[in-house]
Structure 1
């Protein structure tokens, strides 16, 4: 399975559209691009393997394996990148501003419902993170 995250960068944050087979799964929010600095920057563009992980705080969630110069880059719920993220990716159902969204838990559940069965069959799930020169459409139903 290959998921594609197309991002648009702003000084205040990063917004993205996460797709599978050309269909929008959800949107994403992240911190701005600050040269891949730990805890204050979004992750660099590239191809990553997604893995499943459990924590008491987030329960079952996803993380990106082998992010250059970083570790424990999670995909977890957050509706405000600057207040709730330390370099991770938050799925959201709707973008509400730069680095802000809504219904993040719902978006994560939708993503996990798509990805977890594939991982449980011991199949690889890749995430391609790339730049998108166009601003994502925010009113489209996901």
Structure 2
């Protein structure tokens, strides 16, 4: 399909701005007038196919708080999450929580990190199905007392 034959998507940008960005930006679907196949929202709150903002929600989301299929940011939640704190199917970050997690502190089914907790965990201090390091038990007992530990 040519951009001119695509159905029109949704576009909204608030008139109020802060820090040079609209407070709310929504860009979902194609925009034939701009020749865009997918919407890219940019704002403090960004919602779109691709979203960039302090709070970003989209298939690809980048921001302070990012939620999406591919999420990148300070706090990232998504299928593939990359951030300081990441939660997702595959989570990569300083604190990573997910099915497969990699980071300084990793918690997940398959966890790789300095401190790792999971069914199959690898790292310097590990709690897994096969081993329980005392350093890892002490660390997780201090920082995550709500977790059931051996």
Range class of TM-score, shorter chain: under 0.3
Higher RCO (C-alpha 8 Å, min separation 6): 1
Mark the structure with the bigger radius of gyration.
Answer: 2
TM-score normalised per structure 1:
0.21
TM-score normalised per structure 2:
0.20
- Richer in helix (by share): 1
